[in-house]
């Protein structure tokens, strides 16, 4: 995933200096136009874009886009610079007492992951917002960083790409980015999206997050059915 585009990469190489090199082969004119449009102008002015591959995700800036023709196909090499500023949410690192219940950073992380992957808890409808305990919990789940948790990613991708046979791969990549960009976890260990059954899809997730006040990591696990409508 790069920005709003999804594509199959031949190879993704991570360099120790924070640079990503992505190799992609395209055959259609539409795909070729997409990659050509990613080329930065001569002044190098381009905004950062969401990027996800496998279990990893970053904010990146396109440094260069090179192409080489081979028959009817074109081979593209994208060089991306990783920019981590703006990702994460420090709200997770505090413990809150609301409505007689205590919410630890791990509790909030599980709630965030639940919204991203299962629509549980579902987003606030915006009416009488922030007056009740549930609204305050929703506020902390949503967060206030650059990438707040406002929706269930699985549902939103299904709504836009549900007729595409690869929609689950798209949803997985977008969810990996959302989980890391929101500061829910630092590392995605496993994320699986199963077969659609009666308007729902099973989702299983394991991630790890760093505890700001200790040297250890916490494991966040989510298993459940995500309603697609």
* Structural domain contains residue 3: no
Greater confidence, 46 or 174?
A: 174
- Residue 16 and residue 98 share a domain: no
Q: Which domain holds residue 63?
A: 11-82
The rounded distance, in Å, linking the Cα atoms of 33 and 22 is 17
Among candidate residues 82, 101, 135, the one where a domain is terminated: 82
- Residue 207 and residue 106 share a domain: yes
pLDDT digits (tens, 9 = 90+) for 72-119: 789 999 999 998 675 765 555 678 787 788 888 899 999 999 999 999
- Would you tell me how many other CB atoms lie within 10 Å of the CB of residue 188? 23
What would you measure as the largest C-alpha separation in the chain, in angstroms? 67
- Residue 125 and residue 24 share a domain: no
The candidate with the shortest Cα–Cα distance to 181, out of 114, 113, 94, is 113
* Structural domain contains residue 60: yes
Greater confidence, 130 or 56?
A: 56
pTM over 0.85: yes
- Residue 102 and residue 168 share a domain: yes
Number of structural domains in the chain: 2
pLDDT for 116 equals 97
Among candidate residues 41, 61, 82, the one where a domain is terminated: 82
CA quadruple 132, 134, 135, 139: dihedral sign: positive
- Residue 77 and residue 154 share a domain: no
CA atoms within 13 A on the CB side of 40: 17
pLDDT digits (tens, 9 = 90+) for 114-144: 999 999 999 876 555 555 556 777 888 888 7
- Residue 219 and residue 107 share a domain: yes
pLDDT digits (tens, 9 = 90+) for 159-214: 999 999 999 999 999 999 999 999 999 999 999 999 999 999 999 999 999 876 66
* Residue with token string 């640079």: 19
% of residues, the chain, pLDDT over 70: 87
- Residue 71 and residue 95 share a domain: no
- Residue 107 and residue 58 share a domain: no
Find the angle CA(20)-CA(25)-CA(31) to the nearest 5 degrees: 100
- Residue 104 and residue 60 share a domain: no
Non-local CB neighbours of 37 within 8 Å, separated by 6+ positions: none
- Residue 191 and residue 100 share a domain: yes
DSSP character at residue 123: P
- Residue 37 and residue 121 share a domain: no
């Amino acid at each position: 995933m790069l920005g709003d585009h999804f594509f199959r990469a031949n190879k993704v190489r991570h360099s120790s200096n924070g640079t990503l090199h992505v190799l992609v082969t395209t055959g259609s004119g539409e795909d070729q136009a997409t990659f050509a449009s990613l080329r930065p102008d001569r002044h190098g002015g381009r905004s950062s874009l969401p990027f996800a591959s496998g279990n990893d995700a970053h904010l990146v800036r396109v440094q260069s886009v090179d192409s080489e023709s081979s028959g009817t196909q074109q081979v593209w090499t994208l060089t991306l610079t990783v920019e981590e500023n703006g990702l994460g949410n420090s709200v997770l690192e505090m413990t809150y007492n609301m409505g007689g219940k205590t919410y630890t950073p791990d509790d909030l992380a599980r709630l965030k992951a639940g919204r991203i992957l299962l629509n549980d808890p579902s987003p606030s409808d915006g009416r009488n917002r922030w007056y009740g305990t549930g609204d305050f919990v929703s506020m902390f789940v949503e967060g206030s960083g650059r990438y707040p948790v406002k929706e269930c990613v699985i549902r939103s991708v299904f709504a836009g790409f549900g007729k595409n046979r690869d929609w689950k791969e798209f949803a997985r990549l977008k969810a990996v980015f959302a989980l890391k960009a929101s500061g829910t976890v630092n590392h995605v260990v496993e994320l699986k999206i199963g077969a659609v059954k009666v308007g729902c899809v099973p989702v299983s997730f394991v991630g790890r997050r760093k505890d700001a006040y200790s040297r250890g990591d916490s494991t966040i696990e989510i298993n459940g059915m995500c309603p697609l409508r």
